[in-house]
Amino acid sequence: MSGWAEFGMFLGALALSAIVFCVIAYWPQRPPRDQTVEAIRKHIEGEDEE
């Protein structure tokens, strides 16, 4: 392989690893079950009944 092809593959590998890292780091996570809108609403409604 020529030097430019190896350099291009190296840059591609760096770019791909950076993209994978960003996707993993910034992917939205699911809220815990007790922090969902429904769970909070039920908790507030339960307090109002007391």
Q: Locate the domains of the chain by residue range.
A: 3-49
- List the chain residues with pLDDT less than 50: none
Report the C-alpha gap between 48 and 7 in whole angstroms: 66
Instruction: Output the pTM of the full model.
Output: 0.53
How far apart are the C-alpha atoms of 22 and 11, rounded to whole Å?
17
Strand, helix or coil at 1?
coil
CB 33 within 8 A of CB 39: yes
